[in-house]
Amino acid sequence: GAVVSQHPSWVICKSGTSVKIECRSLDFQATTMFWYRQFPKQSLMLMATSNEGSKATYEQGVEKDKFLINHASLTLSTLTVTSAHPEDSSFYICSAREGIVLQETQYFGPGTRLLVL
């Protein structure tokens, strides 16, 4: 099956620093990638949708200047949390979709746990 990887799997940083998380589709080309955030004992909350070569579409309430998303190739999307603060500590999960058909299955990465001190 389709495999999506994320790097790093966990990161601890100081408040005010920026953190970059990578999401890669390993055996397929992802026309669309999604970034989610998940707090403990809660569901996945979609942050943004990124299509290769175009600007990401952010969900309401998600600051695009704080969560920078780049989808420069069909196999790589990055999420940069700029000037991270403790409230940004969360589990960040990406997913990737191969086809352009709207209901093509999304495959999820293993997640990145971010802890901001």
Partner 1 sequence: GESVGLHLPTLSVQEGDNSIINCAYSNSASDYFIWYKQESGKGPQFIIDIRSNMDKRQGQRVTVLLNKTVKHLSLQIAATQPGDSAVYFCAENFSGYSTLTFGKGTMLLVSP
Query: In terms of CB distance, is 13 or 45 closer to partner 1?
Result: 45
Contact residues toward partner 1 (CB under 8 A) are 1, 4, 6, 32, 34, 41-46, 49, 91, 93, 95, 97, 102-103, 105-111, 113
Query: In terms of CB distance, is 82 or 89 closer to partner 1?
Result: 89
**DSSP tag of 28:** S
Give the torsion sign (CA, 39, 89, 19, 64): positive
CA-based R_g, the chain, Å: 13
| Span between the terminal Cα atoms of the chain, in Å | 37
Query: In terms of CB distance, is 16 or 110 closer to partner 1?
Result: 110
Q: How far is the CB of 107 from partner 1 (least distance, A)?
A: 7
Q: How far is the CB of 73 from partner 1 (least distance, A)?
A: 19
Q: What are phi and psi of 57, to 5 degrees?
A: -105, 120
Query: In terms of CB distance, is 76 or 82 closer to partner 1?
Result: 76
Q: How far is the CB of 88 from partner 1 (least distance, A)?
A: 18
Q: Could you tell me which of 20, 15, 52, 11 has the C-alpha nearest to residue 33?
A: 52
| Amino acid making up residue 101 | V
Q: How far is the CB of 49 from partner 1 (least distance, A)?
A: 6
